[in-house]
Amino acid sequence: MSISRFVYLKLNLFVPVFAYFLDKRGEITGIAFIDFPSIDVCHNRRIKRNKVFKSLAKREKTTLGWFFGFK
């Protein structure tokens, strides 16, 4: 597909796709859940060997499992 064809299709499909997303959105309740990504310092097996962030990082649990790092 050429760039000019891609730009043409992108411009022509923007309004229908936007209308589709507006139609499919749910009712706004005012409650939001945000799960910030964790920053892993090292693998769980190497926690005892880590010296760089020893006093700052800690072991925590997220929805994806346990990790050693920052939340």
Domain residue spans of the chain: 3-70
Of the two residues 49 and 36, the one the predictor is more confident about is 49
The amino acid that residue 23 corresponds to is: D
C-alpha–C-alpha distance, residues 62 and 68, integer Å: 11
Mean pLDDT rounded to a whole number for the chain: 83
Percentage, residues of the chain above pLDDT 70 = 99
The H or E element containing residue 70 is strand 65-70
Confidence of residue 25 (pLDDT cuts 50, 70, 90): confident
Residue 69 has pLDDT above 80, yes or no: yes
Is 20 within 8 Å of 47 (Cβ atoms)? no
Indicate yes or no: pTM above 0.85: no
The H or E element containing residue 4 is helix 3-24
